[in-house]
Amino acid sequence: MQPIDTPVASDSATILERQIKGFGRHTFWIGILLTVLGAIGIALPPAMAITTVDLVSLVLFLGGGFWLWHTWQHGGGFTRWLKPLLLSVAGILMISSPLAGAAALALLLSFYLLLDAFGSFALAHELRPDPGWGWMVVNGVVDLALVAFFTFTWPASSVLLVGIFVGISLLFDGLALTMIGWSLRKG
Cα–Cα distances (Å) from 121 to 118, 144, 146, 148, in that order, read 5, 11, 15, 17
Q: How far is CA 90 from CA 76, 127, 177, in A?
A: 22, 39, 33
pLDDT tier at 5 (50, 70, 90 boundaries)? Answer: very low
Residue 6 binned pLDDT confidence (cut-offs 50, 70, 90):
very low
Q: Are 179 and 135 in contact (CB under 8 A)?
A: yes
Residue 13 pLDDT grade (very low, low, confident, very high; cuts 50, 70, 90): low
Q: What is the pLDDT of residues 143-156, one digit of tens each?
A: 899 888 887 888 88
Mean pLDDT of 11-30: 66
Contacts of 45 (CB under 8 A, 6+ apart): 159, 160, 162, 163, 164, 167
Domain ranges of the chain: 24-186
Average pLDDT over residues 170-185: 84
Distance (Å, whole) CA 177 – CA 187 = 15
Instruction: For 20-32, give the DSSP string.
Output: HHHH-TTHHHHHH
Alpha helices in 75-97 (DSSP H): 78-96
Residues 109 and 29: their CA atoms lie apart, in Å, by 25
Whole-number average pLDDT of the chain = 83
